[in-house]
A and B are shown apart, each in its own frame.
Chain A
Amino acid sequence: MAKFTFIGGIHPYDGKEISKHNPMRAVLPKGDLVYPLSQHIGAPAVPIVKKGDHVLAGQKIAQAQGFVSAPVYATVSGLMKAIEPRRVVTGEQVMSIVVENDLLYEEVEYPTPKPLNRMSREEILTAVQEAGIVGMGGAGFPTHVKLSVKEPEKISYVIVNCAECEPYLTSDYRRMVEEPEKLVEGLKVILRLFPNARGVLAVEDNKPDCIKILSGLVSKEPRIEVAALKTKYPQGSERQLIYAVTGRAIHSGKLPADVGCIVDNVDTVVAIRRAVLEGKPLMNRIVTVTGDAIANPQNLVVRIGTNYHELIEEAGGFVTEPQKIVSGGPMMGFALFDLDVPTTKTASALLCLTRDEVSEQEPSACINCGRCAEVCPGRVIPKLLAEYAQHHDLEQFVAHEGMECCECGCCSYICPAKRPLTQAIKSARKMVLADRKKK
């Protein structure tokens, strides 16, 4: 029974119906574009343009600083206006390059890449690195680092995370329905790096049309198969996904490659294909603009750097004033103070809710019901961890596996006393990580 699911998890209202039928639509930014230098895990990129420079779409404007880092590209043509701190979705101020859009959208000439079958492993990795590709599911870990494993022949699975388990999100769904061949081509590029690996397209079974389309496409591909996963949040969490597909389980101290797995998100795989087969850098991504406050929910192909205000306009504006706006899905996304933030490489959705359920409900005493432990995919006891966190007992917090929390939010979601368990655990995790850095 271990196959294709995991223990724990929840079944929230999925809200995908609102936007799933609307095809992907490319939008051109009108206002200034803002490119944070840190849209990934690792060292921030370093600007290589000056104020007053004219830039073209597809031109590198900041280069990676070291191996664990990623370059940033301009996505429109225009004037380089400033390098200054700008607010990003997490609420932090991040040093960013601001480009004034000249509305001409002039693009650089991309060099024609070598055919895939003549490319070496190093050439493929360099193409991915140069394109500035990072994990687009939300984590933002530089993809070339993930792909540069020491012993590539020991990788037995390349899993494409098509679960899209976050409620309301339909960007991966649209990609699978409209451009499944690009996804499969991208997977074949990755498989060239790992001679002994099988490619697995892991899709939740609430998307039977995707399973059908992808199964049809890969029926003649000897190395690729489609796995139907039980629909349950957080099925797309990396560790849970690997376990569901392969039965191999890793804790937080291990990497997927340690058990012979590579996991990449749908949009990331498509970006790899574009980088390697077309020689183009990462310049856009699909953003689901949705929620009951949005007039015409959309799946927009957005150029990175586009202001969130423009995305709302493209989706017809608000029907009613939203109480809460979330960048990302409702389970793991960031609530926004205001919409004046740019689309980054990791922004999967813009969710506008007319009701803020969280502020309506007052937290009350824990009744020890144990539901948090039941739904926790990390198999820890969130109630206990939250208590240790509140008492600042970091020693006990770590002893009770607090660092195994993946911050998926299931415990807070299920809690009948409406206690902010995830929040307490997250802040304790941050403190522990900060302490470890000091040492």
Chain B
Amino acid sequence: MSELRKVSSNPHIRDKDTTTRIMLTVVVALLPAAFFGIYNFGLRAAAVLVISVAFAVLTELLFELLCKKKPTIKDCSAVVTGLLLGMNLPVSVPLWLPAVGSVFAILVVKMLFGGLGKNFMNPALAGRCFLLISFPALMTNFNCDAYTGATPLAALKAGEQVNLMDMIVGRTAGTIGETSLIAIVVGACILILAGIIDLKVPGSYLVSFVIFAALFGALLHRTVDGSFLCAQLAGGGLMLGAFFMATDYTTRPITKKGQYVYGVFLGFLTALFRIFSASAEGVSYAILLGNLLVPLIEKYTMPKCFGKGGERS
């Protein structure tokens, strides 16, 4: 008898999609907004993005080498984290800031909890909030060569008028990747068409945000008009957060029902923070708090199996 052949448990065929391909698609989907940021804010924006990506990847590699683990940077998840973090920074930050943020995001939030798939918070957002708390002045300085003055949301909060058309195109102050509604929606369409995300989380997030923003706005200002809500939807980090960060696989519930609950909760928190807090922004903290509730949400939204009611959903 010749040599024994290879055996393995069924199935013996596999789908072609891989983790790396998913991560690269997310990177591609982020590029329209990233390139618009560079176009809008100048080449310095590119430097911020390059530094944050490079430090994210390097941190992961160094950590794994030091711990004698198999390097995993080929999966490109660190690129996504670095890029998202960079896109969440103002262009005016000193160039060491994205480096610090990336090291924190990858080392503390991702690798120390076990690496890809084990973190309980979105690393990019946790990195951003770490910077926001540690260096508030640097992180909220939106003055740059292209723009001086407030971001649209801050202007809105101060009771000023905003130009909605500029917000849709993205010709406003803000962080590098958040200003252009069009570019973000193009990226979101790429993700949806590629089957990487669906509308369960972003859809319920945005719908619940509009409802709660209208409610809270009415409570605070006594009136609410369409242009206020449109500006709230288009402004700040909401779109980037809803399509690229709330949908992060690791830190959103895996159950279908849970994804709706999570989305609604994020919408509620974002509206609450934006309308009532001192800051004009609220997306990052809302998503991080939502991340913390994921285990609880999953526990109470476990699906029914086939034959016990699950066959219909």
Contacts and interface: CB of A to CB of B under 8 A. Distances in A.
Contacts of B10: 330-335, 407, 409, 412, 422-423
A337 B14 contact: no
Nearest to B14: A357
A365 B7 contact: no
A412 B11 contact: yes
B193 interface: no
Which of B4, B22, B254, B304 is packed against the most chain A CB atoms within 10 Å? B254
Interface stretch (B50-58, B113-121, B143-151, B281-289): B113-121
B12 A400 contact: no
Given A239-B306, A337-B4, A367-B117, A357 B13 contact: yes
A249 B7 contact: no
Interface of A: 2, 6-7, 10, 12-13, 91, 167, 239-240, 243, 249-252, 254, 322-326, 330-338, 340, 351, 353, 356-359, 361, 364-370, 373, 377-381, 383-384, 400-401, 404, 407, 409-410, 412-418, 420, 422-423, 426
A61 B311 CA distance: 45
12 contacts: A7-B312, A7-B313, A12-B15, A251-B308, A331-B13, A336-B7, A338-B5, A356-B8, A367-B249, A369-B249, A416-B15, A417-B117
A137 B254 CA distance: 34
B1 interface: yes
B17 interface: yes
A340 B303 contact: no
B303 A380 contact: yes
Given A251-B307, A358-B8, A418-B14, A365 B249 contact: no
A249 to B, nearest CB: 4
A167 B13 contact: yes
B11 A409 contact: yes
Given A7-B311, A13-B13, A366-B117, A359 B22 contact: no
Contacts of A251: 305-308
B13 A12 contact: yes
B250 interface: yes
A324 B5 contact: yes
B134 interface: no
Contacts of B7: 91, 324, 334-337
Most A CB contacts (10 A, CB to CB) among B8, B13, B255, B303 go to: B13
Interface string B290-309: 00000000000011111110
B243 to A, nearest CB: 16
A363 to B, nearest CB: 10
B116 to A, nearest CB: 5
Contacts of B302: 381, 400
Contacts of A249: 306-307, 311
A332 B2 contact: no
Interface in B204-258: 249-250, 254-255
A76 B13 CA distance: 36
A379 B311 contact: yes
B12 A353 contact: yes
Contacts of B307: 239, 249-252, 254, 404
Contacts of A400: 302
Sorted nearest first, the 4 A-B pairs with minimum C-beta distance are A251-B307, A409-B11, A379-B310, A423-B9
Contact of B117 (A368, A413, A423): A368
Given A365-B117, A369-B249, A416-B18, A378 B9 contact: no
B68 interface: no
Given A334-B10, A380-B303, A400-B302, 14 more contacts: A2-B311, A240-B306, A243-B306, A252-B307, A324-B5, A324-B7, A333-B12, A356-B12, A358-B14, A366-B117, A367-B117, A378-B305, A413-B13, A417-B18
A322 B3 CA distance: 13
Contacts of B19: 364-365, 367, 416-417
B193 to A, nearest CB: 16
B68 to A, nearest CB: 17
A385 B11 CA distance: 17
Contact of A381 (B21, B117, B255): B255
A426 B306 CA distance: 18
B8 A335 contact: yes
B312 to A, nearest CB: 7
Contacts of A381: 254-255, 302-303
A364 to B, nearest CB: 6
A417 B14 CA distance: 11
B64 interface: no
Contact of A325 (B1, B5, B117, B311): B5
A331 B14 CA distance: 9
Nearest to A254: B307
B117 A422 contact: no
Interface string B68-79: 000010010100
